[in-house]
Amino acid sequence: MKSKRPTAEAKTRMPPFASIVRWSLALALFGTMGGGAMLLSAKLQDPQTFPLKVVQIKGDLRYLDRQKLEQAMAVQVREGFFTLNVERVHARLLQMPWVARVALRRVWPDTLLIAVEEQAPLARWGKQQLVNLQGELFQPAKNEIPAGLPQLVGPEGTEREMVSRYRTMQSRFAAVGLQIARVQQDLRSAWLIEFANKSTIRLGSQQIDERLGRFIRLYPRLKAAGRGRPKQVDLRYTNGFVVHWELDEQSVSSKKGLTKRNELG
């Protein structure tokens, strides 16, 4: 009796021995590689494998103490080179009032480089805050507020407008030797300027640039008038302004307790 030969279908279902060996070796190799990768990953997750040892602060710093900042960051950074949570450190730095912008970079094998852009205070805002050149508010500690900054006062949300106005006004007043000490805008958008010499001007809420120009053109005449310091100049008039003279006020107040007003065209 003749034995039946395997059909083509049966041959297909019976893989050769060599194929079985190749697949077994491949699976063993992949298993070894996977186990090694897991072991390497676990090793890299250990902060002691590649610890961060150096924190460097880069940037022009005037109000931040570079050494204290490096020490503070060294305490914060206790992770390894690969495990450091850069986003967390970045957020922590931005919480510092004097830090405007910051960028972090790891430098092999053990260094964290921190580039800091410090706040540039332009003026005081309110009682506790400062405003920078971009019209952004920040609040350092009270004892860290620099002396001699001008004061800006305005409704909430007008910071950028106030900064822009202040910078334009100061450049124009500097031409006649005046230094702004305070700029105020009230809820009706009326402007008041106080100078370092204690003189003030009222601009109202309309034709601000024209009124400023009129004052700057005539200010040398006010200085040369021989009547002392112009204590207050009211520019809320179409073709002129009203001056309150310091010497006149002192003289009248000593006699009648009144304020004398002088109108110039």
What spatial distance separates the first Cα and last Cα of the chain, rounded to whole Å? 137
Distance CA(26)–CA(20), nearest Å, equals 10
What is the predicted pLDDT for the residue at 166?
97
- If you average pLDDT over every residue of the chain, what do you get? 82
Buried/exposed 40-51: b ≥16 CB within 10 Å, e otherwise = eeeeeeebeebe
Same-fold call for 54-118 versus 121-264: no
Distance, CA of 201 to CA of 237 (rounded, Å): 12
Report which of residues 142 and 246 the model is more confident about.
142
Reference 120, options 90, 99, 94; nearest CA is 99
Residue 142: CB partners within 8 Å, gap ≥ 6? 128
Topology of the domain covering 54-118: Ubiquitin-like (UB roll) (3.10.20)
3-state helix/strand/coil string of 168-230: HHHHHHHHHCCCEEEEEECCCCCEEEEECCCCEEEEECCCHHHHHHHHHHHHHHHHCCCCCCE
Domain ranges of the chain: 54-118, 121-264
Model pLDDT, residue 180: 98
Measured between alpha carbons, how far is 242 from 91 in angstroms, rounded to an integer?
A: 53
C-beta of residue 116 within 8 angstroms of C-beta of residue 59? yes
Question: Using CA atoms, how far apart are residues 146 and 244, in angstroms rounded to an integer?
Answer: 32
Residue 222, pLDDT > 70, answer: yes
pLDDT at 250: 55
**Could you tell me the maximum CA-CA distance found in the chain, to the nearest angstrom?**
149
CB distance 154 to 126 below 8 Å: no
Query: In the sheet where 111-118 sits, what is the strand order?
Result: 54-58, 111-118, 99-107
Structure tokens at 121: 């205070």
CA atoms within 13 A on the CB side of 105: 7
CA distances from 150 to 24, 61, 80, 130, 141 (A): 80, 22, 46, 10, 18
Does pLDDT of 264 surpass 90?
no
Q: Which residue has the higher pLDDT, 49 or 128?
A: 128
Task: Give the model's pLDDT for residue 84.
Answer: 87
Of 20-24, 31-35, 111-115, 220-224, minimum mean pLDDT range: 31-35
Does an H or E element contain 24, and which? Answer: helix 17-44
Indicate whether 38 pLDDT > 90. no
Minimum mean pLDDT range among 36-50, 123-137, 218-232: 36-50
Q: Give the pLDDT score at 258.
A: 36
Q: What is the pLDDT of residue 39?
A: 45
Architecture of domain 121-264: 3-Layer(aba) Sandwich (3.40)
Q: If you average pLDDT over residues 50-59, what whole number do you get?
A: 87
Q: What is the pTM of this model?
A: 0.74
